[in-house]
A and B are shown apart, each in its own frame.
Chain A
Amino acid sequence: MENPTVKARVHITLKNGVLDPQGKAIAHALDQLGFGGVNDVRQGKYIELDINESDPDKARATVDDMCAQLLANTVIENYSIELDG
């Protein structure tokens, strides 16, 4: 008997127009390595959650609350949620 669980994958990215100096540093390093043609790099966060919930709609709503309250700073970040059964 397993408890039904859902895996949620959250991507957190900086909003357009927010300065990303870490992205720029990565772009510079790629360039130094010889990878030409990289126009821009933006860096974000990826968080995996394993939660006890069988109803995907409830799971998504819960993860959405988690993002809005803690996982993302909605002043400067966007987030997107994918669920794996």
Chain B
Amino acid sequence: MKSAVVVFPGSNCDRDAATALEQATGHAPVMVWHGDTDFPEVDLIVLPGGFSYGDYLRAGAMAAQSPVVRTVIERANKGVYVLGICNGFQVLTETGLLPGALMRNANLKFVCRTVNLKVENTETPFTGGYDREQVIQIPVAHHDGNYFTDPETHKKLVQEGRIAFRYCADESIETDVGGNPNGSLDNIAGLFNENRNVLGMMPHPERVAEAAHGGTDGAAMFAHLANSLS
């Protein structure tokens, strides 16, 4: 699998994403600067976490207008896989590649902790490495992760099985967690586009991809992508 990681001014999770991809594929992804309008053909494009443009105006709003994003949209529409993590998810909703919006956390706090995620749809290259309804532990670190969309779109997402992950409280697992960290609608932590080739998620799988991280639940995402896409 060939992959690329887009770097905006203010992105700060690009290196971790690149490390996780290199670990899964055996070679480094190409790093693409936001000002470039072209980059090599790849199987997976990652929009990493961070504070692109300082979150000025709205998180992800100005990054979504970057030259490179026009190319990302074209490729996504042709079926190239795109993974937006945290700020990357915000960029994806600002472009319209994913519906809805990520708003300020309902409790107004920047939340930085491990959460439980229930994997709702395992029939995609992103999530095929998990079992249906498996609960995984992934860290979040965000101020604007409160997912919102209108009722009709929400109904569509549910009917079409496009919700990828929901926050959940799992009392059987003893970690510092507890349900929904940001008030997002229907506990939505990540969702797919109609074609299921674009995934946006607020939690950071690249931060639990190797034993030294203190958790490895994110590794299965990158490993399955590497095995599925080429």
Contact surface of A with B, Cβ cutoff 8 Å: 18-19, 21-22, 25, 69-71, 73, 75-76
Q: Which residues from B are CB-within-8-Å of A76?
A: 101, 103, 148
Indicate the member of A19, A75, A76 with the most B CB atoms within 10 Å: A75
Q: How far is the CA of A84 from the CA of B148 in the complex (A)?
A: 35
Interchain nearest-CB distance for A68 vs B (Å)? 12
What does the 1/0 interface line of B101-117 toward A look like (CB < 8 Å)?
Answer: 10111111000000000
Q: Which residue of B lies closest to A19 (CB)?
A: B106
When A19-B146, A21-B108 are in contact, do A75 and B62 touch as well, CB less than 8 Å? no
Least distance between B125 CB and chain A CB atoms (Å): 27
Q: Given the interface contacts A18-B148, A19-B106, A69-B65, does A75 sit within 8 Å of B57 by beta carbon?
A: no
Interface size class, chain B: 20 to 34
Given known contacts A75-B149, A76-B103, A76-B148, is B108 in contact with A22 (CB within 8 Å)?
yes
| Cα separation A69 to B61 with both chains bound (whole Å) | 9
Q: Kindly list 10 other residue pairs between chains A and B, CB separation below 8 angstroms, not including A19-B146, A73-B61, A75-B93.
A: A18-B148, A19-B148, A21-B105, A21-B107, A22-B104, A69-B65, A70-B62, A73-B101, A75-B100, A75-B149
Is B57 in contact with A70, judged by CB distance below 8 angstroms? Answer: yes
- Residues in B with CB closer than 8 Å to A70 are 57, 61-62, 65
Can you offer 19 A-B residue contacts whose CB atoms are under 8 A? A18-B103, A19-B103, A19-B146, A19-B148, A21-B104, A21-B105, A21-B106, A21-B107, A21-B108, A21-B183, A22-B108, A25-B108, A69-B65, A70-B65, A73-B58, A73-B101, A75-B100, A75-B149, A76-B148
Q: Which residues of A contact B65 (CB under 8 A)?
A: 69-70
Contacts of B62 in A (CB 8 A): 70
B206 at the A/B interface (Cβ < 8 Å)? no
Count chain A CB atoms within 10 A of each CB in B57, B105, B106, B149 and give the residue with the most.
B57
A17–B183 Cα distance when bound, in Å, is 15
Question: Which A residues are in CB contact (< 8 Å) with B101?
Answer: 73, 75-76
Given the complex of chains A and B, what is the CA–CA distance between A76 and B105 in angstroms?
14
The answer to the question of B94 belonging to the interface, with a C-beta cut-off of 8 Å to chain A, is yes
CB distance from A21 to the nearest CB of B (A): 5
In the complex, which residues of chain A have a beta carbon less than 8 angstroms from the beta carbon of B58?
A: 73
Assembled-state Cα–Cα distance A73/B104 (Å): 13
- B103: which A residues are within 8 A, CB to CB? 18-19, 76
Chain B residues with CB under 8 A of A75: 93, 99-101, 148-149
Which among A19, A22, A25, A69 is the interface contact of B183 at CB below 8 angstroms? A19
